[in-house]
Amino acid sequence: MSKPPHDSRKSPDNAANPLIWSAAMPVAFVLLWTTGFTGTRLGLPYVEPATFLGLRFSLAALFMLLVALAFRAPWPKEKGAIWRTAVTGLLMHGAYLGFAYFAMARMPVALVALIASLQPLLTATLVGRFLGERVTRRMWAGFLLGFVGVALVVLRELDPFAVQAQFEGLIFSVLCLLAITLGTLWQKKHGQAMDMRTGQTIQLGAAAVAVTVVALLVEDNHVDWTWTFAGALGWLTLGMSVGTFSLLYHLIRRDSAARVASLFYLVPGVTAVEAYFMFGDTLSVTAILGMALAAFGVALVIRPARAARES
């Protein structure tokens, strides 16, 4: 008797692939997102912040436009879709990074990072009203633990007796926090059906116009072109504005906004490890403890979703 033909769709290896990708995407996102801080640290000595962002967004928008045209990707046709897509770009790209850069020029980077790390908590507070998502007690515990962990990591760089935070810096930090939070919620609510190629062309184009206008008004637009700057600009353009944001949007599309936001708790710890190896920064026992707490907090937040998918 002949054996029935092998059905690859029932293969255990193929069945495991979705689970592998599901676990790998959040890890890849966190690792890639942290490189944005490294690239920024390398590039900012050669250019002013808004000029830097204007170049980055313009090049990224041009790249995505060429990709969209090459693949004949569909453009939004629904009434108001282009405007809603542009709002995401203004919030997630222009406002978030723009306000962060201006804040870091006026106050310690660690304090800016601490304020920005409130994003998962703020997202968890707002998802019920804006998206109808439910945040359980277990998740709330994870969000609180994650914030404590992040605080232990970032405060290692902050001398409480020498902090001189300008009021403008605090305002920019809060605006940065609001931009990334509202941008995540807006993308979840209005960007689920967005084509990544044309959608990001619109988003990056809107951010490029807004930031370039600011750069022309408040900066001298001088760029010191070096290989270091060119490398940082190239990575931030393709690796971050295109690649990493595509991954973030995919995560937002497939999971709850609150759970995706919790991944940002892992960023300061991974960034600290990268800075230790690349720039010789110190890595204290307190920071390592903070990383462990943040990781445990994120596990509490995302575990219910993973358990539900595997059941």
Render pLDDT for 277-305 as a digit per residue (tens, 0 to 9).
877 777 788 888 999 999 999 999 987 55
pLDDT, position 310: 43
pLDDT of 162 above 60: no
The torsion region of residue 221 among left (phi > 0), alpha (psi -120 to 50) and beta comes to left
pLDDT, position 308: 46
pLDDT of 307 above 50: no
Q: Given pLDDT bands bounded at 50, 70 and 90, which one contains residue 309?
A: very low
Please state the pTM of the whole predicted model: 0.86
Cα torsion 198, 201, 206, 212 to 10°: value is -170
DSSP assignment of 211-225? HHHHHHHHS---B--
Residues 171/35, Cβ–Cβ less than 8 Å: no
User: For the chain, what is the mean pLDDT?
Assistant: 86
pLDDT, position 8: 47
pLDDT, position 274: 79
pLDDT of 187 above 90: yes
Q: Give me the residue spans of the domains in the chain.
A: 47-187+194-310
Cα–chain-centroid distance for residue 214?
22
CA distance 127 to 64: 30
Per the listing, tokens 């490398």 go with 231
pLDDT, position 284: 82
Cα–chain-centroid distance for residue 228?
23
pLDDT of 214 above 90: yes
Looking at residues 167-171, what average pLDDT do you find?
A: 85
